[in-house]
């Protein structure tokens, strides 16, 4: 086998992104993936069918006195969990990076939101996020989303009405799902379970 510069274990969102960026920078990258190769044709609108996207490896449990199974949070094969996640791509708040100095909780973060901000902007351009940055008034400062929000259906309208009655505001979620055609990828047709890719 040819020599490689980097070996990455796991082809989930983190491993795949790292591999793409390293190979764009001229590195030879090898990804070792324990799961099957998942194809576009596996993204089928059915919860039952979608089970094949989910974890099929050995059972995993948390440690401690009362371990619980964490299989829900797992995926395997090319794309890993991202193949069946809900694609809600929120930014961390400015305060999240300052929990220690503000509230005396957790550890001191070595980076601030301002340092991470250009990368949030870059990734939302590369991947494409649908949302409404103006409506989402609690969102930390950054570039507006490259696509308008997804449609809101009756269920969402009812929840919105309930919140309004309580004097609370709502906003569309920022999601890595196309509301319009973006970068050569078609718009969502609102048919299917996010759970099924």
By CB under 6 A, tell whether 75 contacts ligand FAD.
yes
Does 71 bind ligand FAD (CB under 6 A)? Our answer is no
Measured from the CB atom, the residue of 68 and 166 that comes closer to ligand FAD is 68
User: What whole-number distance in Å separates Cα of residue 156 and Cα of residue 103?
Assistant: 34
Q: Single out the residue of 4, 6, 9, 92 in contact with ligand FAD (rule: CB under 6 A).
A: 9
- The answer to whether the Cα torsion of 134, 139, 144, 149 is positive or negative is negative
- Nearer CB in complex with ligand FAD: 10/144: 10
Alpha-carbon distance of 86 to 180, in angstroms, equals: 18
Question: 141: burial class by Cβ within 10 Å (0-12, 13-18, 19+)?
Answer: exposed
Site for ligand FAD contains 7 (CB under 6 A): no
C-beta closer to ligand FAD: residue 32 or 180: 32
Q: Return the number of the residue (34 or 159) whose C-beta is nearest ligand FAD.
A: 34
Place of tokens 């799902």: 177
User: From residue 125, how far is each of 29, 40, 131, 191 by CA, in Å?
Assistant: 24, 22, 12, 25
Tell which positions 77-116 bind ligand FAD, by CB under 6 A.
77, 80-82, 84-89
What mask, x for binding ligand FAD by CB under 6 A, covers residues 24 to 63?
--------xxxx----------------------------
């Amino acid at each position: 086998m040819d020599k490689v510069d980097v070996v990455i274990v796991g082809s989930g969102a983190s491993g795949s992104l790292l591999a793409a960026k390293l190979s764009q920078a001229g590195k030879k990258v090898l990804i070792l993936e324990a799961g099957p190769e998942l194809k576009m044709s596996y993204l089928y609108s059915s919860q039952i069918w979608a089970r094949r996207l989910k974890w099929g490896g050995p059972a995993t449990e948390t440690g401690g006195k009362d371990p619980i199974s964490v299989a829900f949070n797992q995926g395997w094969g090319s794309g890993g969990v991202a193949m069946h996640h809900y694609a809600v791509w929120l930014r961390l708040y400015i305060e999240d990076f300052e929990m220690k100095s503000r509230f005396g909780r957790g550890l001191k973060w070595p980076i601030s939101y301002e340092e991470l901000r250009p990368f949030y902007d870059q990734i939302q351009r590369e991947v494409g996020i649908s949302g409404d940055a103006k409506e989402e008034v609690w969102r930390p400062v950054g570039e507006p989303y490259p696509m308008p929000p997804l449609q809101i259906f009756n269920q969402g309208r009812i929840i919105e009405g309930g919140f309004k009655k309580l004097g609370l505001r709502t906003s569309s979620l920022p999601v890595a799902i196309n509301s319009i055609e973006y970068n050569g990828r078609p718009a969502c047709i609102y048919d299917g379970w996010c759970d099924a890719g």
